[in-house]
């Protein structure tokens, strides 16, 4: 037995794999913050996955060591287009302060970030990429109660045997509020936490709060095993040619985004499963 190109998944041979680049959408999108960002100029990328290590055993002195192979696989990610377009009269574009065209362009970019997050925490999205609910993840039943960090500790423990080390937890706003109101003991007005908001850590995990997470839910992930693929970057373009007849300016924002979940068993959905 031996590992050769013939039995190695295509993703293990050289393919396009871009570097992380900061852009407008990155700063606004939760998906970009909890995942590893990959930029590409290709229609899709293939990600190599090591699904099992080569087997080992104990051998007597001067005996033949058995040949074993690792198990390999791949994950193909195809970015899908999310875009928006609006039109502004030439008078509004030229006479406004601050420049309305620039402000609308920034607004479109923020809207793209919202669309990315909505798809990321969803199941399937028409014409878009499939999200977290589309894969079989680990589930931890919270019973609808968020008053301690026990749920988060349990989630971290759940994925250890599946090769994941959780780095981030994304809370629904009502979950963040419940934790912020948690008290140190019954009858006390002292909060268990000083604050529960973006950027703090709970049980060692970086916290983010997103309105796109369903009420009562939280998602705990390993950033190294979540891929957010962006093709050609996010562009905002203003054009007078498209609206020549109306003497107006059209502003268009476009991005192509895809998600890859390399190890679904290393993702934990925390919610009331009853």
Quick check: 202 and 169 in contact, CB under 8 A? yes
**pLDDT given for residue 17 in this prediction:** 32
d(Cα 36, Cα 168) in Å, to the nearest integer? 12
pLDDT attached to residue 5 = 55
Q: What confidence score (pLDDT) does residue 99 get?
A: 65
Output the pLDDT for position 137.
96
Going by C-beta distance under 8 Å and a sequence separation of 6 or more, which residues neighbour residue 70? 3, 50, 52, 53, 54
Q: 202, 217, 200: which is closest to 267 by C-alpha?
A: 217
What pLDDT, on a 0 to 100 scale, did the predictor assign at position 159? 95
**pLDDT of the residue at 92:** 72
> HSE on the CB side for 125, CA within 13 Å?
21
What local confidence, expressed as pLDDT, does residue 112 receive?
Answer: 87
Domains with residue ranges and CATH for the chain: 22-41+79-271 (3.30.2320.10)
CA-angle at 61, arms to 59 and 62, nearest 5°: 105
> pTM for the complete prediction?
0.82
Q: What's the pLDDT at 22?
A: 35
CB atoms within 10 A of CB 121: 20
pLDDT reported for residue 255: 87
Under-70 pLDDT residues of the chain: 1-24, 93-99, 101-102, 240, 242
């Amino acid at each position: 037995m031996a590992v050769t190109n013939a039995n190695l998944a295509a993703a293990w041979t050289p393919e396009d794999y871009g570097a992380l680049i900061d852009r407008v959408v990155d700063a606004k999108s939760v998906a970009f913050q909890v995942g590893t960002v990959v930029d590409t100029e290709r229609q899709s990328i293939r990600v190599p996955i090591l699904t099992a290590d080569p087997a080992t055993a104990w051998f007597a002195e001067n005996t033949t060591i058995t040949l074993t192979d690792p198990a390999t696989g791949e994950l193909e990610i195809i970015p899908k287009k999310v875009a928006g377009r609006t039109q502004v009269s030439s008078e509004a574009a030229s006479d406004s302060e601050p420049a309305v065209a620039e402000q609308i362009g920034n607004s479109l970019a923020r809207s793209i970030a919202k669309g990315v997050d909505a798809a990321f925490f969803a199941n399937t999205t028409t014409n878009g990429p499939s999200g977290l609910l589309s894969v079989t993840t680990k589930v931890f039943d919270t019973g609808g109660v968020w008053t301690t960090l026990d749920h988060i500790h349990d989630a971290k423990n759940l994925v250890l045997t599946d090769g994941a080390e959780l780095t981030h937890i994304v809370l629904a706003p009502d979950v963040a509020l419940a934790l912020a109101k948690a008290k140190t003991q019954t009858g006390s007005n002292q909060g268990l936490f000083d604050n529960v908001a973006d950027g703090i850590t709970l049980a060692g995990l970086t916290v983010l709060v997103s309105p796109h997470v369903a009420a009562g839910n939280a998602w705990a992930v390993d950033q190294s095993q979540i891929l957010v693929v962006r093709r050609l970057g996010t562009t905002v373009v203003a054009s007078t040619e498209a609206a020549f007849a109306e003497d107006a300016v059209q502003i268009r924002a476009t991005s192509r985004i895809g998600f890859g979940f390399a190890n679904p068993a290393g993702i934990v959905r925390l919610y009331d499963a009853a």
